[in-house]
Amino acid sequence: MDYHVKNQLLYHFWKLCIPKIERVKIIQEAHTSLILDHFGLSKIVAQLQRFCYWPKMNETISRYVRGCTMCVKSKPSNRKLGLYTPLPDSSHPWESVSMDFVGGLPKSKKGHDYLYVVVDRFNKMCILIPCNKQITTEQTIKLIFQHVWVHFGLPTPIVSNRDT
Instruction: Tell me if the domain spanning 3-74 has CATH number 1.10.340.70.
Output: yes
Q: What tens digit of pLDDT does each residue of 84-140 get?
A: 778 888 889 999 999 999 988 899 999 999 999 999 999 999 999 999 988 998 999
Per-residue pLDDT, 112:
92
Per-residue pLDDT, 80:
64
pTM given for the model: 0.49
Q: What tens digit of pLDDT does each residue of 149-161 get?
A: 999 988 888 888 7
Per-residue pLDDT, 5:
58
Question: What mean pLDDT value characterizes the chain?
Answer: 81
Per-residue pLDDT, 7:
54
Per-residue pLDDT, 2:
55
Q: Where in the chain is the domain with CATH 1.10.340.70?
A: 3-74
User: What CATH number was assigned to the domain covering residues 97-159?
Assistant: 3.30.420.10
Judge contact between 127 and 117, C-beta under 8 A: yes
Q: What mean pLDDT comes out for the span 44-53? A: 84
Per-residue pLDDT, 21:
85
Q: What tens digit of pLDDT does each residue of 9-25 get?
A: 677 677 778 888 888 88
Q: Where in the chain is the domain with CATH 3.30.420.10?
A: 97-159
Judge contact between 127 and 111, C-beta under 8 A: no
First to last CA, the chain: 64
Per-residue pLDDT, 9:
61
Tell which residue, 73, 74, 64, 79, has the closest CA to residue 28.
64
- Residues 62 and 75: their CA atoms lie apart, in Å, by 15
CA angle 127-128-129, nearest 5°? Answer: 115
